[in-house]
Structure 1
Amino acid sequence: MEATEKKASYFYVLLCKDDTLYGGYTTNLDRRLKEHNTGTGAKYTRPAYRRPVRMIYAESYVSRSEATKAEAAFKKLTRKNKEYYLKRNGVSIPFKDQLNRIINNTEESNDADTEEF
């Protein structure tokens, strides 16, 4: 029997046009970014004043559960703590200096890592 390859799950952060941060989960970063920018993504990014959005950070997880736990933990943070988390993970602040999407692999993540938020 041939082993099937699991799709990576991602927790990602968007910087919206109105300078707000949005955290989400996906298995396909490019597709999800396009959905957000066309207004078919999350309810939060549908209003035109929030678009275009830019993906400024992403983390790769081996399971959907871990990625959604990271997303939920991020969403509970204050703006200041979200910025601290992003800065700690290599995202330049102010965000206009951030040119590339950053992907951290967390293949051996555990619940303690998620709670660090």
Structure 2
Amino acid sequence: MKLSYVYILKCSDDSYYTGVTSNLNQRLFQHSSGFYKDCYTYKRRPVELVFKCEFTNITIAIDTEKQIKKWSRAKKEALINNDYDALPNLAKKSF
């Protein structure tokens, strides 16, 4: 069974980058070394892994990555800090 990972990196400019991969160690090396010059993290190094989650289904991993990318900074930080109880309230919009 091949695992896939959704991960969040904290960049040197205090922004977050969310990605998905089937080889987390290799992908982290690529981000850290600036392997891809067009990557979001290239000019925001060094980066720090602040969250990872394993999946056995790549489709679910990709869907989860897309979902997290749409989240607010506060909601991503709740996820990073394992504050799962806060996630539903952070999803609500104030009108």
Q: How does the TM-score come out when normalised to structure 2?
A: 0.79
Query: Which residue is equivalent to 1:69?
Result: 63
How far is the alpha carbon of 1:89 from its aligned partner?
5.5
CA drift of 1:56 comes to 1.2
The reply on whether 1:12 has 2:7 as its aligned counterpart is yes
For residues 22-81 of structure 1, the C-alpha deviation after alignment (integer angstroms, 9 at most, x for no partner) is 11001111110000011124611111xx10111111100011111111111110001111
Overall identity of the aligned pairs, in %: 36
- For 1:10, give the aligned amino acid: Y
Q: Distance in 1 between matches of 2:56 and 2:22?
A: 10
Q: TM-score, normalised by structure 1?
A: 0.65
* Distance (whole Å) between structure 2 residues aligned to residue 76 and residue 59 of structure 1: 17
Tell me the alpha carbon deviations over residues 57-112 of structure 1, each in whole angstroms, 9 at most, x when there is no partner. Answer: 1100011111111111110001111112222369xxxxxxxxxxxxxxxxxxxxxx
Q: Which runs of 4+ in 1 moved over 4 A?
A: none
Q: Partners of 1:89 and 1:58 in 2: how far apart?
A: 15
- Number of residue-to-residue matches in the alignment: 84
CA distance in 1, matches of 2:34, 2:79: 27
Could you list the runs of 5+ residues in structure 1 that have no partner in the other structure?
A: 1-5, 91-116
Backbone CA RMSD of aligned residues:
1.8
Structure 2, unaligned stretches of length 5 or more? 85-90
